[in-house]
Structure 1
Amino acid sequence: MRWNKRLNSPELNIVYVCAGAVFTAGVAACLLRGLFFTGEMYPFLTVWFALCGLLVAPVLAVFELHKRTDGRGQESGGPVMKKAALTLLGCPLAILVLYAWAGLRGPISAQGTLDELLRWGFYASFAVLAYFCAGYRQGARLLGAMWHAMGMAISLSALFAVCAGFKLPYAVAYTSAPEVSATGARLAGLLEYPNTFGAVMAVFLLERLFAAASLMESAKPRPSAIKQSVATGVYGMLPLFPYAAALLLSESRGAWLSAAFAGAAVLLWKRQLCAPLLLAGAAPMAAAALFYRQLARAGLAVEPAPGLLLLAGLWGAALLGGAWLCCRRQVAAGGGCAARVALAAVMWTAAGSAVLLQVRERITGPSSTVAARGLLYRDAWKLAAEAPWLGRGGGTWRSSYLAAQSRPYVGSQVHNGYLDLLLNLGGVGLAILLLLLIAAGWLVAAAAPRLLPSLLALALHSAVDFDWSYGLMWLLLFLLPALARAEKLHSVDAGEPPQLPASAEPPPVPGGPGRPAAAAALLFSVALALFILSFQAMRGETLYKQAAGTSQNRERIVLLRQSLQWNPRDPMTAAALSRMLPGNQGRDLILKSLKYSPENAALKWELAKRALEGEHPGTAMYWVRRGQQLDVFNAAKRIEAAEGMLDMSVRRLREGDWTSARQSAEAGLELLRQYRLLGERESGKGIQHNDRRFGNVQEAEGLGLRLKGVRSEAWHLEMAIRL
């Protein structure tokens, strides 16, 4: 039975406002570099949480109105599906609570925990709004438009940056290392990081490939149906070429493998889609491979006119070839259909071979990046063992890796989303994350299996890179179940989404009339708290940037003080201000900031530098060792510490305190000895993973001679006094 869509005006307005908010979040994710830098997100998050606070009551009222929908309501699903949906929407809230609890317990980084708290407040509210909008045809249409607009904007902006001279900073990542890029240039697009850009393109490519294959498989063998399905299929295949081309130009092996494994896993389940998928993707993939080979020879540097012609020509060829194969598959039978499937398979093989020949050395040869990831993972597991259950709060790896690293690599990202959350929230947080992914996979597989490869690609690639540091990836992850729900409710076969008739009474609200009001009050309080926190962080960030842009010391101090008043958790602001304050004022400020970031290497080093300017070698050595423990492989700090001890020794020698002068010189020599031993050990391991070039101790030889000279002079003077 088909129900007619009947929405009253206030309810329809709520749907449009929520869909508009979700669409705006997608636009922000594209324009703000994939929502990677939290500092760039503060203004958007402030507006977002204010809007969420206003929407709490009306959205909750609509949820309560349509809560009991079996038989009369909006969607009919079994208890398992309802529990999966509740789990999907509840897990982000649970992670939000864990970060709030970590903030109260005293995290390793209060600023990092605040950033994650704001992020997960955003993700949780986005997931709820997207899932809510999917229940209405108007909202579902906007969700679909948002999905395709995001994919095309991300792919075409990157391709136009290469082929049309479109000004997009850092759209291309250049490197001279052959193990990083076979061509010396990789496409990074709006995300400015090729690996995650490739993963995003794989998600969109898989969605369109399986959509086209599913459409071909479900087409009826009537001429009118064939004509309609072919026309719709061509329209659906329109983004395939730019998605495939952008994916190949990213040269992300992880993204390629994730897409291949995800697609193969679903094809093993849905074997009937193999032939349609081969036909739908053959021409776009072959054209994309040719496009990649042409641009690879030029190092992604082509003139705008030839580049645009190449892009347009291959895109058109991909569309025509795809339309011909799909149309012929519908009208052909027997041997004719088998021949076209074989032709499509040959085209896929040729495309794959052309790409693999270009990057064969990166695939068959030893990979320094894979080995580096293994080293990161081993260090991260050791760090996770220190707080295995609840972790140490947001930003744990970024705050601790300099102390935890076993080699002098550069890696402020752990390159594994699961490990990153394990470090932040421990085993409890990781279990919630896995539960979230299972719930999302269950919902997608039950409602729209064609979307499952995209979800699997997200989950797989996040295990080998820091995709989940990008807010865009979480938006895509929560959009997929929402799109699956919309497709199930509003597909052509399902007809109009079932709705309550105008004459029907709304179902009673479980728990009495006070329960929705209490829930609304709670959610409004959470939104208000997040709004206040994001506004404070935004003001602090704005004032910090203003201080960095002024040349007047007095004005800079005022701005930095104001920044800390708004956001006292930021260690960068505290360190910058402490350098401009005299004596005890700067020291007290650092000690106060250490309450928010107890293991911050920069703050501890500021204390060490102040101690080196003092009169007590024992105090100086204490803070120097604390600072070196938090940044083991920092050669500059080790040299600076020895120089500080030399200066202290010279000062004490001039003041007649020969014992302290000798002790300071001996402490400096001990620091150099430790540096020399550690440097020799690292030099013996080779240059691999020694990104910080730690181990060059030649610069310390002259410093050691000066320290020995001051020590000898202080010792002789001390002996002369005793005699």
Structure 2
Amino acid sequence: MNWITFACLSVVLIVTPFQGGLYYESDMRIWELVIIPLFIIHLLWFSFKHATILIRNKNYFLVFLLPLMYVLTIPFAINPSGNMDTILRFITYACFFLMIFWIKESTTISKLLPYVFHLLGIELLIFTFAELFDVMPMQESMVGCGGERACGPFRYPNTFAAIIGAYWFYTMAIVVHRKRFDWAGVLLAGVMIGYGVILLHTYSRGSYLFFGVTFVLALLLLWKRWKRFVIISIVSMMLSFGLFSLMSIEPDQPAEVVPNSFKERVTDMSPSTNTAVARFDFYKQALAMSKDAPWTGFGGESWYMYYPEHEKAGGLNQTHNGYLDLLIEIGWVGVLVYAAVFAWLIYQVIKVRAYAVDQTHGTGVILALMMVFGHSLVDYDFSYGRIWLLVFWLFGIGVKRVEARHI
């Protein structure tokens, strides 16, 4: 049973990026019909065969507080169908998360979780490079794709950049902790350079910003290996930038050390830019909106119902801030519950990292989560179901495996 579930969850992780990152409900619905029934079957199986597994992992049922917060908004939801869609989404995420922990009690499966994560990263690299070289062009996009910007299968460069940045830091932590630089180390270093090239090709200023913030955190977490970390990071980034510049050379145009498009994008990082001003306006509107229902919120997918001028202003039906989305939808009570649940999960990862002999995965998970959660301050990453599945898979890697004698 564990292996069947592991195979199913791995397929979900690997396939779902190519469904627009599960942004749209039509794509999400398919996997809700797979994951929730699979969870129920698994729950019944363990209840009769291995009830002790459920008891040992009982604390992780706290993740069901996440959909519960949306259930509590049902009487106040201004978009009832959207709220129900969000409830189903978070039930699906919670089921996905719990099944990871149940099957992780198998020693072999526990060791395979990071490999599946790496497999997805390499898959994203191959797909994105194929698209950049017009081997596998894709026309559909959400917003921001086009020209030199890499969007990946998510079809939105900013969210894709946050994910690639998370992969860069996770891989970097593994390379830094390796005892010897063998063929596996060379492969990981090459993949890390590839992530750097793609990250640069996203031209995502928000991701560049939070990459820098996460880099500082990495320096703090890896202070015992800071020389190795600095050397590996600098060499990797220099090689990534060199390849990025080579890929940016246009025929019949003089070669540039730094592509003009990149220079313009980076030098334009200012609170006074049009996109920054528009987002600050969204944030002000979101905070003002939250004051009308500070405790309960307006339910799932309520932003565009409450603020129709948003679309007229040329934006999407999002606040471009995942945390303000939550504040609008589930109020301060819900936000505090979410913060408490994820703070507890991050504490579990930190606790394992503090006492584990091998700190590789713990460090990588913390840095990857920092990149994702940090970038969500400036974009609507939380609207992608794929982001939540990735986050819960990272927690599955980072939190201690519960020992069991017979699985």
Measured against the shorter chain, the TM-score band is 0.7 to 0.9
Tell me how far 1:407 sits from its aligned partner.
Answer: 8.6
Structure 2 counterpart of 1:163: 133
Bigger Cα Rg: 1
The 1:61/1:362 distance shift into structure 2, 3 A limit, reads farther
Tell me how far 1:213 sits from its aligned partner.
Answer: 0.7
Separation in 1, partners of 2:188, 2:136: 26
Separation in 2, partners of 1:458, 1:109: 28
Tell me how far 1:437 sits from its aligned partner.
Answer: 2.3
**Alignment pair present for 1:120 and 2:72:** no
Residues 293, 355 of structure 1: 8 Å contact kept: no
Separation in 2, partners of 1:431, 1:352: 44
Give me the TM-score of the superposition, normalised by structure 1.
0.51
Which residues in structure 2 correspond to 1:496-507 (within 5 Å)?
Answer: 499-500=404-405
Structure 1 counterpart of 2:171: 208
The amino acid that maps onto 1:110 is P
Tell me how far 1:61 sits from its aligned partner.
Answer: 4.9
The 1:167/1:409 distance shift into structure 2, 3 A limit, reads closer
Residues 34, 191 of structure 1: 8 Å contact kept: yes
Structure 2 counterpart of 1:438: 343
Structure 2 counterpart of 1:24: 11
Separation in 2, partners of 1:367, 1:26: 36
Which residues in structure 2 correspond to 1:240-255 (within 5 Å)?
Answer: 240-255=192-207
The amino acid that maps onto 2:282 is L
Residues 397, 413 of structure 1: 8 Å contact kept: yes
Q: Deviations over 1:32-84 (max 9, x none)?
A: 11111011222232132222222211234566324677xxxxxxxxxxxx8xx
Which residues in structure 2 correspond to 1:325-474 (within 5 Å)?
Answer: 357=263, 359-363=265-269, 366-402=272-308, 408-447=313-352, 448-474=362-388
Structure 2 counterpart of 1:40: 27
Where 2:149 maps in the other structure, the secondary structure is strand
Residues 21, 153 of structure 2: 8 Å contact kept: yes
Tell me how far 1:364 sits from its aligned partner.
Answer: 5.7
The 1:160/1:406 distance shift into structure 2, 3 A limit, reads closer
Q: State the 4+ residue runs in structure 1 displaced beyond 6 angstroms.
A: 171-176, 351-356
Identity across the alignment (%): 20
Residues 168, 189 of structure 1: 8 Å contact kept: no
User: Given the alignment, which residue of 125, 146, 154 partners 2:124?
Assistant: 154
Q: Deviations over 1:191-225 (max 9, x none)?
A: 0111001001001111001111122xxx2xxxxxx
**Alignment pair present for 1:92 and 2:44:** no
Which residues in structure 2 correspond to 1:101-120 (within 5 Å)?
Answer: 101-103=72-74, 105-120=75-90
The 1:107/1:499 distance shift into structure 2, 3 A limit, reads closer
The 1:408/1:44 distance shift into structure 2, 3 A limit, reads closer
Residues 293, 358 of structure 1: 8 Å contact kept: no
The amino acid that maps onto 1:146 is V
Separation in 2, partners of 1:249, 1:172: 17
Q: Deviations over 1:460-505 (max 9, x none)?
A: 11111000000111112111121113xx55xxxxxxx954379xxx
Separation in 2, partners of 1:402, 1:432: 29
The amino acid that maps onto 1:243 is Y
Aligned length: 393
Structure 2 counterpart of 1:53: 40
Residues 46, 54 of structure 2: 8 Å contact kept: no
Q: Deviations over 1:216-242 (max 9, x none)?
A: xxx2xxxxxx4xx53332233242122
Tell me how far 1:122 sits from its aligned partner.
Answer: 0.7
Separation in 2, partners of 1:32, 1:175: 16
Which residues in structure 2 correspond to 1:639-654 (within 5 Å)?
Answer: none
The 1:128/1:50 distance shift into structure 2, 3 A limit, reads same
Residues 379, 406 of structure 1: 8 Å contact kept: no
Let me know the Cα RMSD of the aligned residues: 2.9
User: Given the alignment, which residue of 238, 245, 248 partners 1:296?
Assistant: 248
Tell which has more relative contact order, 1 or 2 (C-alpha 8 A, sep 6+). Answer: 2
The 1:354/1:263 distance shift into structure 2, 3 A limit, reads farther
Residues 105, 403 of structure 2: 8 Å contact kept: no
Where 1:453 maps in the other structure, the secondary structure is helix
Where 1:185 maps in the other structure, the secondary structure is coil
Structure 2 counterpart of 1:568: none
Residues 258, 457 of structure 1: 8 Å contact kept: yes
Residues 203, 262 of structure 2: 8 Å contact kept: no
Separation in 2, partners of 1:185, 1:424: 35
Separation in 1, partners of 2:371, 2:48: 36
Separation in 2, partners of 1:359, 1:36: 26
Structure 2 counterpart of 1:640: none
Separation in 2, partners of 1:126, 1:406: 33
Q: Which runs of 5+ in 1 are unaligned?
A: 1-13, 70-81, 177-183, 220-225, 303-350, 490-496, 503-723
Q: Deviations over 1:384-427 (max 9, x none)?
A: 11111111111110211116x69945341111111101111111
**Alignment pair present for 1:259 and 2:208:** no
Residues 131, 481 of structure 1: 8 Å contact kept: no
Residues 289, 355 of structure 1: 8 Å contact kept: no
The amino acid that maps onto 1:414 is T
Tell me how far 1:101 sits from its aligned partner.
Answer: 2.9
Where 2:182 maps in the other structure, the secondary structure is helix
Separation in 2, partners of 1:46, 1:66: 25
Tell me how far 1:174 sits from its aligned partner.
Answer: 6.2
The 1:99/1:443 distance shift into structure 2, 3 A limit, reads same
Separation in 2, partners of 1:288, 1:43: 37
Structure 2 counterpart of 1:671: none
Separation in 2, partners of 1:259, 1:468: 18
